[in-house]
Amino acid sequence: EGLLFIGSYRDNEVGADHPLMAHLGNIRQSGCVSILPMHLGNLDVNSIKSMVSDVLHMVPGTVRPLAEVVFNKTGGNALFAVQLLSSLHDEGLLRFSLTSRCWQWDIQKIRDKDVADNVVELMVGKMLRLRPEVQEALSVAACFGAMCQESLLRILDRAPDNVMCNVPSLDVAVSEGLMVKSDSAYRFSHDQIQLAAYLLISESDRAKSHLRIGRLLWKLSSAQELESSLFVVVEQLHRGSFLMTDPEERTQLSELSMLAGQMARRMSSFLPAAAYLSAGIRLLADNDWNSHRNLCFNLYNSCAEIHFILGEFDAARSHLEEVLRRAMTLQEKLQPHATLARTLSSLGLTNEAIDSC
């Protein structure tokens, strides 16, 4: 009683089949809680004027011409508006006068200024004005997603020729308002800023960047560190795995993927577990059934079991049939036969399940 919960989501990212929609539907049907949906769009010109007035600590009437230009150039997008004001300040078009002790601007120059079409382009332009090492650190952090653990960056710093990322450079990004630092992580202040940082890497080099990050984390981590960051390392390596030419390295990544899949299964994260195991299978070569037989059997059997748990019986059956086709000893046949029998029973194929044993 007396509890108000406020949540938000982007309607372009949450469709009718999203779990959130099902959960909200269940709440409505319960009749115990009232839900008031509110659609938030871009700010109108008066809201932009209030925002500019608040940012510059000036009365609304004084900032009206500037606010109207900001509104026209940003369409009322709040993040775009804030970053445009920051860009105007960086370029000297918006400056604080120590003489008059207030903000000043040349409205005509600002009207004539070419502005990026969207906030991402604006942020890319802002980042390109930073020192090269800060740009590099931002692009590396962006490869991890919206947030990056500081411990991972410290591992990258161990590389003797590290020019990829260093913590002091990210501290500069924090001072520029591009990132926020918590006790143990750096987080981009907005997902569009993270996207802009990622776009600093040319499209042709992105897979190489992920692969290099993954290799360094893999090589430089202690056994304990690798275990605690296994998911991150495997994901980075897989995003560049098509560039791997060494068969042994591909096999080792298959082994890491199996470990990640098994760890995810123990955490009851079955969808990620299936993804890791399937990725490990895709890296296998046909001759691995001879040279790395146990790995192949473990990957296929584990993946089949996960598909069975998820109710994806056709996929489970396909993997098990491949294992049985390759099996040569009774020991190799026992586990897949048991899983196949459970799968066929779940499909209502009782006679086939009995025959499979």
- The tens digit of pLDDT for each residue in 181-193 reads 988 899 999 999 9
pLDDT in tens, 24-48: 888 888 878 888 888 888 899 999 9
pLDDT mean over 197-206: 96
pLDDT at 342: 67
pLDDT at 18: 78
pLDDT at 349: 59
- What does the alpha-carbon distance between residue 238 and residue 247 come to, in Å, rounded to a whole number? 14
CATH number, domain of 294, equals 1.25.40.10
- From the centroid of its chain, how far is CA 40? 24
- From the centroid of its chain, how far is CA 79? 20
**In total, how many domains does the chain have?**
1
pLDDT at 237: 98
Question: Which is more confidently placed, 16 or 251?
Answer: 251
Asked whether residue 356 carries a pLDDT value surpassing 60, the answer given is no
pLDDT at 281: 96
Mean pLDDT of the chain: 88
Examine residue 69 and state whether it is found in any structural domain, yes or no.
no
Examine residue 330 and state whether it is found in any structural domain, yes or no.
yes
Examine residue 35 and state whether it is found in any structural domain, yes or no.
no
- What does the alpha-carbon distance between residue 165 and residue 149 come to, in Å, rounded to a whole number? 13
Examine residue 223 and state whether it is found in any structural domain, yes or no.
no
Examine residue 291 and state whether it is found in any structural domain, yes or no.
yes
Asked whether residue 307 carries a pLDDT value surpassing 80, the answer given is yes
- What does the alpha-carbon distance between residue 213 and residue 164 come to, in Å, rounded to a whole number? 9
Which structural domain range is residue 331 located in?
244-357
pLDDT in tens, 101-136: 999 999 999 999 888 888 899 999 989 999 999 999
Examine residue 353 and state whether it is found in any structural domain, yes or no.
yes
Examine residue 218 and state whether it is found in any structural domain, yes or no.
no
Examine residue 271 and state whether it is found in any structural domain, yes or no.
yes
pLDDT in tens, 220-260: 999 999 999 999 999 999 999 999 999 999 999 999 999 99
CA count, 13 A, side-chain hemisphere, 108: 0
Q: Which residues contact 38 (CB under 8 A, 6 or more apart)?
A: none
Asked whether residue 346 carries a pLDDT value surpassing 70, the answer given is no
pLDDT at 33: 82
pLDDT at 313: 81
Q: Which 3 state secondary structure label does DSSP give 14?
A: coil
